[in-house]
Structure 1
């Protein structure tokens, strides 16, 4: 993935991700970077890297090996040849199945850009010719047709499909059921890509838990009043630490607190979906000043809901 985090940033913000293996490339003078995460059971070997790519070799459980390229193309028009030269160089390391995913900072067709400034036909032709030369085919997508939005208003707004996944025939023959989904993100100007090579349904349930204090309660406006009222009503004849212990025990067993805690702890999944849909629709609507203002307001609501959900599952 493309990121602006450095090593310290990853340790702080991504330490809870279920991917113990990670490799990051950070540009020396600020700006973005690239990172690759993978699970412990995944067999992945790093081949080489630069500020604009990570090349790795993956091996499936059945021994099938394929090459993965995480790619970031130069955004400047004058540096497009550098992007294509790098891809040509990476091709020399590939002998077999190959999948390339990332932000190419280029489009294949004029329909992949919505702006008052059209992309030069020359750049689109060069990109198409390059993919054809290396037998790389765009895997398509599900979702919004654009993966980048500068989020400016009205005529200054630009949307493009800059991110994509391409693969050669041998990779596509192995993963015939693969799919690419553009995942909506209100917090970034880029939409993440979800590449699914193998589809598997997982059933997971949440067992009944004993009563315990939840950090998410601290975000409720009525939290202090509910806890204070319950604490004061939990009378006891004990004193000192025994009194404290007995009050805590009674608060935990009090039906009112349990009911309030249950209703205010579990993340409202349906509400999150509803607000996400509103934000997504606004992101695709006419980029007027009014729509942008409403987008920011509803995005704040979504941020609060997602934070509560994150605290709950922490």
Structure 2
């Protein structure tokens, strides 16, 4: 499962839609959580139609601010659990029949009102019984290392974020690439950077999904970058088990008596058409090649 979150700062212009299209094409996420769409649910239907993703839920914006949306790919075993102006909570059944709770979250932009979104977050957490992954724009940082330039973070606000995470037994997932997710020009020059978009999870997620990875994807049409979590992102690629796919002919074997015998036996075994004969030769030469290399390496090691 691949989960993407992006504070898009509105989807009302073609440039934003093009960037979203590029994000989807390049990363192929299964779940897409968008915050600050600045759209009504009805208007967001046009976005879904444009990207041919009919599975989704949109939460209305309030005037020219807010607005959430969650879309998911066809074929996912997926159900919405609850939602508000600050979150969309879902339950996903994975291929191994394990359930995982996935929540998109948007913290209140006004620090004086942020406690109300934390209260919503707590109520969602009280209903979670599965492994839990939360992603989105929290509009909060955990420590001063998550901010560059500008005034230091307000200690009380950072502590409040930490307390919520401790209460719900959640841990921060450090990204494999990228760090700051929000960049803004401050008056008088210079940039302020903060890590306010992130993924957090219940502690058991890292144990159950040891290959989990996250990354920050730079964007040009929003002051927020997208973030992507992949449950299997670090899993080593499997080598093909089909021996025919492992075969690569080396010209030095053209004069090898063993290779000639393998080819003759495979080619002359039955009266079939040439395509089938070639495929049968491939099937026979694959194991022969592997055995040849193994014997060579064994003899080299003994020497």
**TM-score of the superposition, structure 1-length normalised?**
0.60
Structure 2 CA distance for partners of 1:159 and 1:183, relative to 1, 3 Å: same
Q: Tell me the equivalent position of 1:127.
A: 161
Q: Deviations over 1:108-158 (max 9, x none)?
A: 011111232221111111211221221111111133321111234654632
Which region of structure 1 is more displaced relative to structure 2, 11-20 or 37-46? 11-20
SS at match of 1:116: coil
- How big is the shift at 1:34? 1.1
Q: Tell me the equivalent position of 1:30.
A: 64
SS at match of 1:90: helix
Residue of 194, 198, 201 corresponding to 1:167: 201
Residue of 56, 69, 86 corresponding to 2:90: 56
Residue of 229, 236, 244 corresponding to 1:195: 229
Q: Deviations over 1:59-100 (max 9, x none)?
A: 112210011111101111111221221111111110121111
Q: Tell me the equivalent position of 1:139.
A: 173
Q: Tell me the equivalent position of 1:45.
A: 79
Cα distance in 2 for partners of 1:31, 1:179 equals 31
Structure 2 CA distance for partners of 1:130 and 1:7, relative to 1, 3 Å: closer
- Correspondence 1:1-314 to 2 at 5 A: 1-2=34-35, 3-17=37-51, 19-152=53-186, 155=189, 157-199=191-233
- What value does the CA root-mean-square deviation take over the aligned residues? 2.1
Q: Is the contact made by 2:213 and 2:229 (CA closer than 8 Å) also made in structure 1?
A: yes
Cα distance in 2 for partners of 1:86, 1:75 equals 15
Q: Tell me the equivalent position of 1:274.
A: none
Which region of structure 1 is more displaced relative to structure 2, 11-20 or 191-200? 11-20
Which region of structure 1 is more displaced relative to structure 2, 117-126 or 8-17? 8-17
SS at match of 2:49: coil
Q: Deviations over 1:262-312 (max 9, x none)?
A: xxxxxxxxxxxxxxxxxxxxxxxxxxxxxxxxxxxxxxxxxxxxxxxxxxx
Q: Is the contact made by 1:66 and 1:171 (CA closer than 8 Å) also made in structure 2?
A: no
Q: Tell me the equivalent position of 2:25.
A: none
Cα distance in 2 for partners of 1:174, 1:74 equals 31
Q: Provide structure 1 residue ranges, at least 5 long, that are not aligned to the other structure.
A: 203-314
- How big is the shift at 1:174? 2.2
SS at match of 1:198: coil
Cα distance in 1 for partners of 2:47, 2:186 equals 28
Cα distance in 2 for partners of 1:13, 1:50 equals 20
Tell which structure's C-alpha radius of gyration is larger.
2
- Relative contact order (alpha carbons < 8 A, sep ≥ 6): 1 or 2 greater? 2
